[in-house]
């Protein structure tokens, strides 16, 4: 492996995310209520046409701020508005995600992905407060931002050069410009917020050039001088990334757990209870 940390337990996080997004979309199509009318939730009149998206975690700024449903800033990354929306995003996630994960390792990848998606959704909260927002594109643009900035670092591996830096600019510029076209229905706040976050990560994060397993890292933690010995500086850095990556996954899991009672309340509102 040229770069990244070899962690056998989570060898393909990007592929796992593709599966999770797809499974959630199938569940939404199969189990969402049909033929519902407008309803009131969180003192807000909600169109019945978006009920299924909200039940599965989509974001609406008024609900996030008005009812304190912060968890939608994370769950919205997994909800998609249609099969084409899902297919385009999952193709981009699989392609860019594998590049980033292969190069930086699973734990950095998880931090890049979820942090970019979160910042993109916060930007959506600011600029499109009354609109529904859903999809993984903010997080995916974060991965593109990582690779864009990586092209301007001297320690980026040679094999990665054709996929980084200026090589990504046409794709990024096209999508950003297209998002500003009236009627496109594209959330450019999430795209730009995620992109900038990823660019910051990519510019300031070094590409690891040595493989280390999670088992070896846990073994080295037992050394008394782990936190003081200069020889273990890189290992300490990897340990921090493991903590951050693990924490990001835990936050997403908590967000979906918090979504459950919200969805129950929304179902009751749909039924007029």
pLDDT in tens, 133-142: 899 999 999 9
Dmax over CA atoms of the chain, in Å, equals 65
CB atoms within 10 A of CB 11: 11
For the entire predicted model, the pTM comes to 0.88
The answer, yes or no, to whether residue 13 has pLDDT greater than 70, is yes
Is residue 146 within 8 A of residue 198, CB to CB? The reply is: yes
Task: State which H helix or E strand residue 41 sits in.
Answer: strand 39-41
Measured torsion, CA atoms of residues 119, 179, 57, 72, in degrees rounded to the nearest 10? 20
pLDDT at 110: 96
Q: Which residues pair with 59 in a beta bridge?
A: 133
The catalytic site residues sit at: 137, 191
The answer, yes or no, to whether residue 38 has pLDDT greater than 60, is yes
If pLDDT is split at 50, 70 and 90, which confidence band does 7 have?
very low
The answer, yes or no, to whether residue 9 has pLDDT greater than 80, is no
The answer, yes or no, to whether residue 4 has pLDDT greater than 60, is no
DSSP summary character for residue 232:
G
With CA atoms as reference, report the closest residue to 71 among 81, 58, 52: 58
Segment 94-109 mean pLDDT: 90
pLDDT at 215: 66
Question: What is the distance between the alpha carbons of residues 28 and 31, in angstroms, rounded to a whole number?
Answer: 6
**Residue 130 to residues 24, 66, 178, Cα–Cα distance (Å):** 24, 11, 21
Domain limits, the chain: 8-270
8-270: CATH topology is Rhomboid-like fold (1.20.1540)
């Amino acid at each position: 492996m040229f770069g990244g940390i070899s962690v056998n337990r989570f060898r393909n996080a990007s592929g796992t995310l593709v599966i999770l997004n797809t499974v959630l979309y199938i569940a939404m199509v199969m189990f969402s209520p049909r033929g519902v009318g407008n309803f009131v939730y969180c003192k807000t009149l909600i169109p019945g046409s978006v009920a299924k998206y909200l039940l599965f975690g989509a974001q609406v700024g008024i609900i996030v701020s008005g009812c304190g449903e912060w968890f939608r800033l994370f769950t919205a990354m997994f909800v998609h508005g249609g099969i084409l929306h899902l297919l385009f995003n999952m193709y981009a996630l699989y392609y860019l995600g594998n590049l980033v994960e292969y190069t930086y390792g699973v734990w950095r990848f998880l931090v890049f992905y979820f942090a970019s998606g979160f910042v993109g959704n916060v930007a959506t909260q600011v600029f499109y407060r009354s609109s529904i927002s859903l999809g993984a594109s903010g997080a995916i643009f974060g991965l593109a931002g990582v690779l864009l900035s990586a092209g301007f670092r001297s320690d980026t591996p040679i094999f990665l050069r054709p996929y980084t830096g200026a090589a990504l600019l046409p794709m990024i510029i096209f999508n950003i410009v297209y998002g500003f076209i009236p009627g496109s229905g594209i959330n450019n706040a999430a795209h730009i917020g995620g992109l900038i976050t990823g660019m910051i990560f990519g510019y300031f994060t070094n590409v690891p050039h040595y493989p280390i397993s999670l088992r070896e890292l846990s073994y080295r933690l037992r050394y008394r001088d782990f936190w003081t010995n200069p020889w273990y500086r890189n290992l300490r850095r990897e340990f921090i990334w493991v903590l951050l990556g693990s924490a990001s996954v835990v936050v997403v899991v908590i967000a979906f757990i918090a979504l459950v009672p919200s969805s129950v309340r929304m179902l009751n509102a749909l039924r007029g209870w």
